[in-house]
């Protein structure tokens, strides 16, 4: 029973790095006309997609969730939000490991998330 409960929570946390959730965030930003945020998220999504073919066996839920964490934290500029989102993201990392029991794909997902976030941030500066 406890394992089923943990698995359910782990899957729920990983959903924060899903493609539908990622684009819900982007579409909401488009509606609000937050162009810089939209550019950052879209550029980062493109880089995540490209790196998926270069860095094999990566956890892309981890990568997308890190991108969302970084850019939403920069957008809101609130320590409370960043702290809470960071704690949720750390739980997401534990969930990614719990579900697959492999550490390397999680680390590769973090690397893709970092690289994509850097590309999204500086790519947006280049566009503006």
Confidence of residue 124 (pLDDT cuts 50, 70, 90): very high
Which comes out higher in pLDDT, residue 6 or 18? 18
Distance CA 98, CA 23 (A): 25
Name the pTM for this structure.
Answer: 0.93
Please report the pLDDT score of residue 1 as a whole number: 63
Confidence of residue 4 (pLDDT cuts 50, 70, 90): confident
Tens of pLDDT, residues 28-76: 999 998 999 999 999 999 999 999 999 999 999 999 999 999 999 999 9
Distance CA 108, CA 93 (A): 12
Containing domain of residue 97, as a range? Answer: 2-127
Please report the pLDDT score of residue 2 as a whole number: 65
Distance CA 122, CA 128 (A): 10
Number of domains in the chain: 1
Please report the pLDDT score of residue 72 as a whole number: 97
């Amino acid at each position: 029973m406890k394992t089923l409960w943990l698995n359910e929570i782990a899957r729920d946390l990983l959903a924060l790095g899903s493609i539908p959730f990622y684009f819900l965030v982007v579409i909401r930003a488009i509606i609000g006309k937050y162009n810089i945020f939209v550019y950052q998220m879209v550029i980062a999504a493109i880089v995540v997609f490209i790196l998926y073919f270069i860095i094999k066996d990566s956890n892309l839920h981890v990568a997308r969730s890190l991108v969302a964490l970084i850019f939403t934290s920069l957008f809101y500029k609130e320590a409370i939000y960043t702290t809470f989102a960071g704690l949720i993201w750390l739980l997401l990392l534990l969930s990614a490991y719990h579900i697959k029991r492999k550490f390397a794909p999680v680390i590769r997902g973090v690397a893709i998330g970092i690289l994509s976030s850097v590309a999204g941030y500086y790519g947006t500066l280049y566009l503006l």
